[in-house]
A and B are shown apart, each in its own frame.
Chain A
Amino acid sequence: MSNIWEFLYQTLTVSLAAAVLLLVKRLLRDKLSPRWQYAVWGVLALRALIPAGLTRAVVPQLALWIETAKSAAELGLTSACTGPFEPMSITAPVPLADGLPRSLTDWLFALYAAGALAALVWYAYRYARLRALLWRGREDGAVRAAVDAAAEKYGLRACRTVSVPGLKGAFVCGVLRPVLAVPEGEVPDEKVILHELLHLKYCDAGQNVFWCLLRALHWCNPFLQYVFNRVGNDMEALCDQRVLERLEGEERREYGSILLGMASHSYARAPGTSSISNGARNIARRIEAIARFKLYPSGMALVSVCTVLILASTLLTGVRADFSRLESYPNSERELLTTLAAARLERCSTVPGALDTYAKALVFRDPWLYALAAPVSGQERMYEDMEAFLGRWPGDSALASVGASAQPQVLNLRQCEDGRMLAELALPGEILNVSWSYGAVSDEQLSQFLLVPVEILREDGGYAVRAVGEEPRLEYAQGDGPAPEARIRGGAGWANIDMYFGARPAASSAAVDTAAGTVTVKLYSDVEVRQPERQSAGLWSFGSAYPREAAPDAVWEDWTCDCWYTVELDAREYLAGGGEGNISVLYEWVLDEGVESGLPTDDGSVSLSSSISPEEGVLLDWRAGDWNRGLGPAGLPYYPGSIELKLIIDGVSAGEYTLELAAADNAKEDGNEP
C-alpha cells in the first residue's frame, strides 16, 4: 500500500470479507462447532495478507468507486504518493511510502502509517511490561505441582509457572519461552490449568501476536477491530471446546461455573498472551457455545472443510469486473472520470482482445472502449481533451455510426528487435462507408482496407494498443457542392489485402541483389478474432458496438492466425540489359528447431512459368506458410528467420544466397514515426 486510496481499498476489501464471514458464522453458529467457527477466520487472515490488488475484487463496484474518488480528489492535488490517473497497485498489505508528503492525501497516508507504527510500538511496550511483571513473579511449589499433575493427566506439555501478585486470572504469556502466570497465593482449578495448557499446545499466544499485527495494520477501522475481538473470542471458545472434550459430565458443568465466575473480571488485551478470562460480553458468548456442546449435529467434518474451501475461493479470488452498464458516452466530467477509472480496473487481457477493442474504439469513437484499449498513461490526455470525449461523439470524428458484417483484421502481429509488439489494423471500407461517413469512402476503397499501424504494450494486468502515427478520424471539408464533404484523415493508406500481397505491409522481409536482379522475400500474417460479437467488448455486426455483452478478453483459442510469404525476383533490368535464358529461383526456408512445417511450405521456386505478376520481368511466388499450428496462448506468430536461395539460369547455378529476414517496421517505412 503506497497511498491512502490503496489502504482504503485494502481495508474495505478485508472488511467485506469479514462481514461475509460474520454473516455465515451467524447463520451456522448452532450447526457447526467452535472448531469450524475459529478455523473460518483463517480465510480472513489470508484475505488480510494478500494485497487486494493481486486478486479480483469481491465487489468490483467498490474498486470503481475508490478509483473514481481518487481521480476526482487527486486532480486538484500534487500528491507524491499517487496521481489522478495512476491505477491502484497494491503489492504489499503493509504501508510502503515512496516519497515525502506533499498533499492532503499524502499526509493522511502518513498519519495512517504513523498510527500503524504507533500501534505496533504500543503492543510491544505492553508485552515488554508484562514480561517485566512476570520476571518479578516467583515460582510456587504448590502451583507447579498442580500444573505438572494436570499436564500428566491430560498428556499435555507444561511450561514455567510463576505466581504474580495482583493478577485476577491465569494466562499464558510468550511464544518462544511461554510462561503460565497465576495470581499469587492461589492454586488454580485443574480445569483452568487445562485450559491454559491447551492454549500452550495449540500455540494460541503466537496466533494472538499475528492477530495483533493485523489489528495494528487496520488500527483506524473500527469494524475490523470489532472483528478481531470476535476472532479472539472464538479462539477462547475453541479452547473451551477442547477442554470440554477432555472433561466428563459434572466437570463440564463446573467448568461453565468457573467461566461464569470470571464474567466480572476486567480484561486487558496484550499481544502474545492468551487468557481464560476475556471480558464479560465475550464470556457470555462462550457460555452459549458451551451450552450447545452436545447439540451440534454430528458427522459434519466433510461439510465443514467444504464450506471453508468455498468461502476461501469466494473471498480470495473475487469476481471479474463487469462495467458494461456504464454510460458509453460520458456526459459530464464525473462520468468521464468513472469511465476512465473503469478502464484502469478492467484491462484487455489478451493481444487479439486488445486489438479488436481498439479497432471498435476507432471506428465508433467510443470513449469507454478507447480508454479500455489505450495505455493507462494516455488517460491524462483523454481527460485534458475532455471536450472531445464528453457527450455523444459528434459525427465529425467517428468513422462509422453503425456496424456491418465485415470485421477488421490484424496484419503482421510481430515483435521487433527493440522488443516492441507491432501490427497493422486493417479496417474494412465496407464498415467505414455507413451512415454519416457516407461518401468518405470511394467505390474502389469499399473493397479495400484502411491500414492503421499500431503498437501493443504490455501493462500490468493486460495489454494496451496505440496507433503509431496519426489515428484515423473523420473530418469534413468544404467541397464543390453546398454540403461539406466527409473524408478520412490519418492511418497509413488503403490496401487490398485479400489479393495482392505486394500491396500490403509485411511482418518481416529481406532482399538480395543477384545476377538476374533483386530477390525480395516478405512474410505476412493475418489474425482474425473469431466470434467477436462474443468477445472484445461488443458486436461488429448488429447495428453498432452495443450492447457490450462481452468482456474485452478474446481468448487465444478463439482467433485464427494465417501466415503467408512472397518471393519476388525483379529481372526487368537484367532482361532490358540483354540478359537471356530461363531464370529460376529455388528457395528453402530455414526453420528453427522444433518448428513443424506441416504442409510442404518450406521450399519452392520462382520461375518464368510460375510468375503471376502482370509485369513482365517480375517473377512472383506466394504461398501459405503452415508454421503456426501449435501457437500457444502466450506466444506470437512464428516467422522463419532466414531463407536459402539458389539462382539458376538455363539450368546452371548462377549463385547461392542465405537471407536473414528482419522484422519490418512498416510505420517507419511509411514515415509515420510514433
Chain B
Amino acid sequence: MNRDALSRALGRIAWASVFLYLDVNININSGSFNLLPEWAGYVLVYYALTPLAGWVRSARLLRPLSGILMCWTLALWLLAMLGLDTEGGWWYLPAAVAMLLELYFWFQLLTNLAELAALFGLARERGLRRLRDFSTVLQTLMALPWGYALPESGELQLAIGAAVLIVGLVVIVWTFAALFGLRGDIAAAECGEGPTDA
C-alpha cells in the first residue's frame, strides 16, 4: 500500500477537522458567510477515505455518509448565506438525522484511525479511542433534552454553558493534536503490519 497516499489522506482528515470544528463568519446583509465551511471538510474526508480503506477496509463504508453530510452542510451553508433560518419546525427531523449520522461518522472514522495506529504499532491508538469515546459521549449528552430535567435557574444554565464551552474547546484542541500527531507519527513510522480486514 502507498504510504505517501496514506500520509496525504491523514493530512486531509486533520485539515478537515479544522473546517468542521472552527467557524469564521462574515456577516453579509442578512446572512453570514462561513470562511471555513463544514462541507469543505467533508470533501477532504471523502477523498481521504479511499487511501485509508486500503489499510482499514471498513473505512470505505463511510464514503456514502461523507457524501450525505457534505450535501447537508453545503445546503446549510448556502441557506445561512441567504439569511434563512434552519432551526426548529421542518428542520428539526433532518437536523436530528444529520447529527446522528455525524456522530456515527466520526466515531467510526476515529475507530478506523485507531486501528491504523495499531497497525503501525503506535501508542497513539489508545489516545484516539479515548478521544472517540469522550467526544461521542459529550455530543450525545449535549443532544439530550436536558431542559426538561434542569431547574430554570439562569445561574445554573450559565455555569453549564461555560462548562460545555470549556470542555468543547478541550475536545477541539485534543482532536487537532491527535489527528495532526497521527499524520506525523505515520510519516515517521518505519513500517506497518499491512492492511487489515477489520
Q: Which residues of A contact B (CB under 8 A)?
A: 16, 20, 23-24, 27-28, 30-32, 58-61, 295, 297-300, 302-303, 306-307, 309-311, 313-314, 317-320, 322, 555-558, 633
Cβ–Cβ contact B108 & A300, under 8 A: yes
- The 8 A-B pairs with the shortest beta carbon distances in the complex, nearest first, are A303-B107, A314-B96, A319-B92, A306-B140, A297-B58, A317-B145, A557-B154, A322-B88
Residues from chain A with a CB closer than 8 A to the CB of B93 are 16, 20, 58-59, 314
Question: Which residues in B have their C-beta under 8 angstroms from that of A299?
Answer: 111
Give B89-145 interface residues, CB cut-off 8 Å to A.
89-90, 92-93, 96-97, 99-101, 103-104, 107-108, 111-112, 133, 136-137, 139-140, 143-145
Whether a CB of chain A sits under 8 angstroms from the CB of B61 is yes
Q: Given the complex, which residues of A lie within 8 Å of B64, measured CB to CB? A: 27
Q: Is B61 in contact with A30, judged by CB distance below 8 angstroms?
A: yes
**How far apart are B87's CB and chain A's nearest CB, in angstroms?**
9
User: Contacts A31-B61, A302-B107, A317-B148; is A58 near B92 (CB within 8 Å)?
Assistant: yes
Contact B107 A310 (CB under 8 A): no
Within the assembled complex, what's the spacing in Å between the Cα atoms of A24 and B104? 11
A560 to chain B, nearest CB (A): 13
Given contacts A27-B68, A58-B93, A319-B92, list 18 more A-B pairs with CB under 8 A.
A24-B101, A31-B108, A59-B89, A60-B88, A61-B90, A297-B61, A300-B108, A302-B133, A302-B136, A303-B136, A306-B107, A306-B137, A310-B96, A314-B92, A319-B89, A320-B88, A322-B89, A633-B151
Given contacts A300-B107, A300-B108, contact A313 B100 (CB under 8 A): no
- Tell me, rounded to whole Å, the shortest Cβ–Cβ distance linking B95 to chain A: 9
Instruction: Give the A-B contact count at a CB cut-off of 8 A.
Output: 94
A31 nearest CB neighbor, chain B only: B61
Which residues from A are CB-within-8-Å of B90? 59, 61
Residue pair A297, B68 in contact (C-beta under 8 Å): no
Docked CA distance A178–B90 (Å): 46
Chain A residues whose C-beta falls within 8 Å of the C-beta of B89 in the assembled complex: 59-61, 319, 322
B30 proximal to A (CB < 8 A) = no
Task: Enumerate B41-94 residues with CB–CB distance to A below 8 Å.
Answer: 58, 61, 64-65, 68, 88-90, 92-93
- B141-167: which residues lie under 8 A (CB-CB) from chain A? 143-145, 148, 151-154
Give the B interface residue count (CB, 8 A): 35
Q: Is B198 at the interface (CB under 8 A from chain A)?
A: yes
Provide a sorted-by-A list of 14 A–B residue pairs whose CB atoms are within 8 angstroms. Answer: A20-B96, A23-B97, A24-B101, A295-B58, A297-B58, A297-B108, A297-B111, A297-B198, A302-B137, A306-B103, A307-B103, A309-B143, A313-B144, A322-B88
Closest B residue to A323 by beta carbon equals B89
A residues within 8 A CB of B104?
A: 28, 31-32, 303, 307
Interface of chain B, main secondary structure: helix
> Which B residues contact A (CB, under 8 angstroms)?
58, 61, 64-65, 68, 88-90, 92-93, 96-97, 99-101, 103-104, 107-108, 111-112, 133, 136-137, 139-140, 143-145, 148, 151-154, 198
Contact A27 B65, CB 8 Å, known A297-B198, A320-B88: yes
Minimum Cβ distance to chain B for residue A212 (Å): 28
What B residues does A322 contact at CB under 8 A? 88-89
| B142 CB to nearest A CB, Å | 10
Q: Is the CB of B100 within 8 A of A311?
A: yes
Task: Please give the distance in Å from B144's CB to the nearest CB on chain A.
Answer: 5
* Separation of A187 and B43 alpha carbons in the complex (Å): 57
Minimum distance in angstroms from A51 CB to a CB of chain B:
17
Give Cα A638 to B141, complex, Å: 38
Q: A24-B97, A30-B61, A58-B93 are in contact. Are A309 and B136 (CB under 8 A)?
A: no
In the complex formed, the residue of A with least CB distance to B64 is: A27
**CA distance in complex: A24, B68 (Å):** 12
In the assembled complex, the CB of A52 is this many whole angstroms from the nearest CB of chain B, namely: 15
Q: B61 — nearest CB in chain A belongs to which residue?
A: A31
Q: How many angstroms from the CA of A16 to the CA of B97 in the assembled complex? A: 13
Contact A310 B140 (CB under 8 A): yes
| A300 and B58 alpha carbons, distance in the complex (Å) | 12
Measured between alpha carbons, how far is A318 from B147 in the docked complex, in Å? 12
